[in-house]
Amino acid sequence: MHRPLDRTPAAPPRAVMFLSALKAEHFDKVKRSGADICLIDLEDAVPCAHKALARARCLEALQLHGASCRFAVRINELRSREFLSDMQALLDCAMTPHMVLLPMVETAAEIDIVRALFGAQDKFPLLFALIETLNGLHQVDAIAARADGLLFGAADFAALLGTDISWENMLHARQQIGLAAARHGIVAIDTPCFDLAGPELLQRECRGARALGFHGKAAVHPQQVEIIRALFTPSQEEQARARAIVAADALHGGAIATVDGQMIGPPFVKRAKRLLRELGPLEE
């Protein structure tokens, strides 16, 4: 029987904020937004003609901020020439990012290759796989077995599928990604919400993704961070109920008990403990 390994950190990241490497001078704003992970993008936010400049700015920001926040970098995909330059730059840099996000991942071997390249230099960033192709989704379980986290990229996925990024159209992919991450006990982060006109769609997507097992969501604007963090944090009612379940379990020595008229047993206790653990040391 497969048992989830649960490699999720005690307090999984909720908001992963993207910033183009070309705008690295705004990095302080990203840090101040309260994002759990501040991610510099070398891929789609940087036009081909500016990749070298972007890389230089990313390295500058990494050296300046890498020690004071969870600094992440989205490099270019493994099948591109830019990937080689990105890796060379990160391997030569004295500072190692907290996390490296690999786009367009389609095989588990891609994670192994990148991990081996870093490992040979005694560098051990977390490796998150961006699942955003049909092949990537097809292989998501094998990829989840090798990666430290999954991030869903709805924009590329929808483009390949020939559809739009509505909740209904992306539901199947989200379910697969949430399940694969849970099966391998790793972090799942939902795709960014590109609607900056108001918070409604972002709020709906946060609630829906959390229900599918996602721990957090990518942000593309600092204003999204607070909403994401709030909606991926268990509500006061959920926390109170989890504490009541754990207390009832302890009181009854692990026997079946009732809380607020509902029967609880081991699976409910497990869920309650996990919810409290994921609050992390600060909020607990």
Binding site, annotated residues: 74, 132, 156
Q: Is 191 in the site for ligand GLV (CB under 6 A)?
A: yes
Q: Which residues are annotated as a binding site for substrate?
A: 74, 132
Q: Name which of Mg ion, ligand GLV, none residue 154 binds, using a CB cut-off of 5 to 8 Å depending on partner kind.
A: ligand GLV
Q: How far, CA to CA in Å, does 263 sit from each of 186, 249, 257, 258?
A: 29, 11, 6, 4
Give the other-Cβ count within 10 Å of 174's Cβ.
Answer: 24
User: To the nearest whole angstrom, how small is the minimum distance from the Cβ of residue 132 to Mg ion?
Assistant: 5
| Least spacing, CB of residue 116 vs ligand GLV, in Å | 24
The reply to whether 17 sits near ligand GLV by the rule CB under 6 A is no
Beta bridge partners of 131: 152
Nearer to ligand GLV, 155 or 201 (CB): 155
CA–CA distance, 254 with 270 (Å, rounded to integer) = 11
150, 131 in Cβ contact below 8 A? yes
Choice between 106 and 156, CB closer to Mg ion: 156
Question: Which residue lies nearer to ligand GLV by CB, 77 or 278?
Answer: 77
How far apart CA 6 and CA 131 sit, in angstroms, is 20
Q: Between 92 and 131, how does the x/- string for binding to Mg ion read (CB under 5 A)?
A: ----------------------------------------
Distances (CA, A) of 226 to 15, 36, 54, 69, 195: 8, 11, 27, 17, 16
Give 130's strand partners: 151
Establish if 13 lies at the interface with Mg ion (CB under 5 A): no
Looking at residues 101 to 160 of the shown chain, list those that interact with ligand GLV (rule: CB under 6 A): 130, 132, 153-156
Interface positions with ligand GLV (CB under 6 A): 44, 130, 132, 153-156, 191
